[in-house]
Amino acid sequence: MRYQNRFFIAFFTFLSFSAACKADGQWVQTNGPRLSTHPNRTVSVLGVSQNNVFLATPNDSIFFSHDGITWSKTAKPLNYQIRFFDTSSTNLFVIVNGGIFFTTDDGASWTAASNGILGLDIRSFAATGGNLFAGTANGGIYLSTNNGANWTLSNAGIPNSTVQSLAAIGTTLLAGTQYGGVFSSTDDGAHWNAASKGLTSIGVTAFGINGSTVFAATVDKGVFVSTDQGANWTSANGGLTSNAAFGFATSGANTFAATNSAGIFLTTNNGTAWTAVNNGLPTTILGGFAALNGTLFALTANGALFSSANNGSNWTSIDVGYDVSKYLTVPALLATGNDLFAGTSTNGAFRSTDNGDSWTAANKGIESANITGFAKIGTNIFVGTGYASNDSGGGNASAAGGVYLSTNNGDSWEKVYAGYSAAYIGASGSNLFVGIDSSVFLSTNDGTNWIPANTGLPGANVFTLAVNGTSLFVWTYYGGVYVSTNDGTQWAPAQIGLPDQSNRIGSFAWIGSTVFAGTGGNGVYYSTNTGASWLPVPQGSTPNGIQSLKAIGTTLFAGTAGGLFLSNNSGTSWGPFGSGLPNYIGSIDYGDTNLFVGTSEGVWRTEVTSFLSAVSGHSQSLNGAAQAYPNPFPDKTTINISLPESGVAEITIVNILGNTIARLFDGELQLGQHSFSWDASNVAPGNYWCIVRMGGRTERIALSVQR
């Protein structure tokens, strides 16, 4: 095999480089992204009972208050992650990952209510006439007639889809689904009938009830109202500035709607007209909403809690009074120029202009808090978003996926593609691709227009997309890997040699013409024939649980659930790289001076200059003039050097980690002017250095390849 012939040299190089980095390179945790503008007091879930406001913190502690001013800590149901509270019955229910608990004493004690539903992904909850109903993801609706002691499937007439919202009005039970609109039942869930007449959106995220009027929030068409228990629906968006709402609250004749990106709106006439009521809120990106005894409570997406006692005319901050420090998990990174973007799965996008020393939210216009990835074309930045659940307030509110464009470095975003599931994006040249639902689409004009690029795809949901030149790879759910070599015009299976097709490929990376695939449980695979067949890199050295792959020159990084790994020899051997980093590494990127990783504890960085010093081993300057023109450049540049003396000189090109990728000269040079050309057409765009060594001294020229 080709690996064996180079093993000794490559392994020696790897050890030398690793040792140098351990000695000189230091990882530093940046100052974010953090969960809240209140550094030590954040909230992740909000709900109300008949007499109290309840909230859960990021570490799943539960607090309650009678008035929103004085807070007390109560017990929590074991060590489960809390998703949302429900108060549609006389008891307070808390829905956790994989189950349900309820309390009859304001949280002093909790009783499990999950028999028959344990382990399911519960998205919605309602109670009516002594019966409990739970809506699940892809499993339909379950019924309990004994306060949660037992659950049975109650799905006749309704597809086994994701039920995002449930509500009861009179003897009618309404179910809002992710893809199928609204269904109703008048016999306690024994039978269901479609109830979407007049509804122009198939994704219903929440219901609100005020008297005989039912409000329905949708993922893309705003709010609808029904005055006949769901038999007919009418659009009610006058004054709303967001098409995606996620929750409602009522106070007397007033109804409030919480939107994903435009804050809170009030209607006094059952939806005929809405008025924004956001004065005092620091952001209109919300994560929860509730009302208790005439007081409104709003939870921002970054975890800050606010209240209003005057129907939203003014909002004031609430300090719950507990201490917690919570960094966000970062599965997406983009380093571009002086800007660093971090995408989180729960709190949207953040931007730093000082290498992570400070961060600001960059979510204006983005309706989902789940960021799946970034792409850049010219000066335009794109972000892909996924389905996000704001598990708080009056049910399980949510926002669908899509693609957003920013022309001002993230100050604001405009939606350029809307879908119902996660959107995974990639760019090459002027081509922008999105993998969403079960298709791939292409835009050649920054998202203004899209055309299908899915001929040959199996129709299975796309969960990973990667682009390199005209080559595209996707991993599809239960369909495995597919490849296109012509910008998505035609696709073909590319699974030969890979593990079972259900083993997720979470990331692809290229070194030259070799493509690497990182699997969830079987390490790294490579292909030298554009995916026609795959081979595993040598066993025994491969990191597992691959979350991200990044090739920088000839160096391959792997972010895993167990730390950061590096290979300098095309994956033949790996070593841990990043002492002190958190275990989970979800994303990797690099800028002019720093290598960045997104972790379960925010973004970390290390200086590139430490790698260059380790490689060159010299710090004294030649005291000569050196420059490159053009710079930046797409493929070729000329390096001009003025030597102050004659001598033996070595001129090399290295990547940002110090790996030599080209040797321009090695021999005797006379004092004076010299010119050397570098053809960079075969290297990846990025930052490089020209290193000139002579007589124990060094000169460096920063180079930038841009296409």
Residue 16 phi/psi, 5-degree rounding, is -65, -45
Determine the Cα–Cα distance for residues 404 and 356; give it in Å rounded to an integer: 23
Q: What average pLDDT does the segment 112-128 reach?
A: 83
* 88-110 per-position pLDDT tens digit: 667 788 888 768 888 888 778 88
Residues of the chain with CATH 2.60.40.1930: 618-705
> What is the bridge-based pairing of β-strands 625-629 and 602-607?
unpaired
State the residue for tokens 């004076």: 672
Q: Which residues pair with 613 in a beta bridge?
A: none
Q: In angstroms, rounded to a whole number, what is the distance separating the alpha carbons of residues 591 and 569?
A: 23
pLDDT of residue 106: 76
Contact 442, 472 (CB under 8 A): no
Can you read off the two tokens belonging to residue 272? 């005929």
DSSP strands (E only) in 160-285: 163-169, 172-177, 182-185, 193-194, 204-210, 213-218, 223-226, 234-235, 245-251, 254-259, 264-267, 275-276
Burial class (CB in 10 A: 0-12, 13-18, 19+), 333: buried
State both tokens at 138: 């892809």
Q: What percent of the chain has pLDDT over 70?
A: 86
Cα 155 to the chain's mean position, in Å? 32
Residue 612: pLDDT above 50? no
Residue type, 707: R
Say how far apart CA 478 and CA 394 lie, in whole Å. Answer: 34
- Greatest pairwise CA separation for the chain in angstroms: 96
Specify the CATH number for 1-34+506-617; select among 3.40.630.30, 3.40.50.2300, 2.130.10.10, 2.10.109.10.
2.130.10.10
- Give pLDDT tens digits for 622-659: 555 678 889 888 999 999 888 888 888 899 998 765 67
CA 512 to chain CA centroid, Å, is 28
The domain 618-705: what is its CATH number?
2.60.40.1930
Per CATH, the homologous superfamily of domain 363-494 is YVTN repeat-like/Quinoprotein amine dehydrogenase (2.130.10.10)
| Burial classification of residue 203, based on how many CB atoms lie within 10 Å of its CB (0-12 exposed, 13-18 middle, 19 or more buried) | buried
Judge contact between 641 and 624, C-beta under 8 A: yes
Bridge partners, 527 (sequence order): 515
Which residues are CB-contacts of 47 (< 8 A; sequence separation ≥ 6)? 53, 54, 55, 84, 85, 86, 87, 92, 288, 290, 392, 393, 394
Tens digit of pLDDT for each residue in 513-556? 899 999 987 889 999 999 999 999 875 556 778 999 998 766 78
Q: Let me know: does 594 contact 606? Beta carbons within 8 Å.
A: yes
Average pLDDT over residues 447-476: 91
pLDDT for 59: 60
Count each helix (H run) and each strand (E run) in the chain, helices first. 3, 65
Tokens 């009056």 correspond to what residue? 394
| CA distances from residue 465 to 96, 258, 333, 468, 501 in whole angstroms, order as listed | 31, 33, 15, 10, 15
pTM as predicted: 0.55
Query: In this structure, are residues 306 and 316 in contact, taking their beta carbons and an 8 Å threshold?
Result: yes
Q: What is the pLDDT of residue 234?
A: 96
Q: What is the pLDDT of residue 324?
A: 47
Strand intervals (E) in 362-436: 370-377, 380-386, 388-391, 396-399, 402-406, 414-418, 423-428, 431-436
Instruction: Assess contact for 247 and 394: CB atoms under 8 A.
Output: yes
The distance of Cα 634 from the centroid of its chain, to the nearest Å, equals: 31
Q: How far is Cα 255 from Cα 107, in angstroms, rounded to an integer?
A: 28
Q: What would the pLDDT profile of 428-445 be if each residue is shown by its tens digit?
A: 989 999 998 778 999 999
Contact between 72 and 61 (Cβ < 8 Å): no
Coil, strand or helix: which one is 340?
strand
The pLDDT assigned to 553 comes to 67
CA distances from 187 to 88, 172, 190, 438 (A): 18, 8, 6, 36
The mean per-residue pLDDT over the stretch 599-624 comes to 62
The answer to whether 674 and 660 have CB atoms below 8 angstroms apart is: no
Strand, helix or coil for residue 23:
helix
- Give residue for tokens 């050309």: 677
Q: Residue for token digits 């129709």?
A: 459
Three-state secondary structure string covering 233-265: CEECCCCCCCCCEEEEEEECCEEEEEECCCCEE
Using 50, 70 and 90 to split pLDDT, how confident is the model at 4?
very low
DSSP-based helix, strand, coil % in the chain, nearest 5: 5, 50, 50
Domain with CATH 2.130.10.10 in the chain: 1-34+506-617, 363-494
Distance from the Cα of residue 137 to its chain's centroid: 20
- Return mean pLDDT, the chain: 82
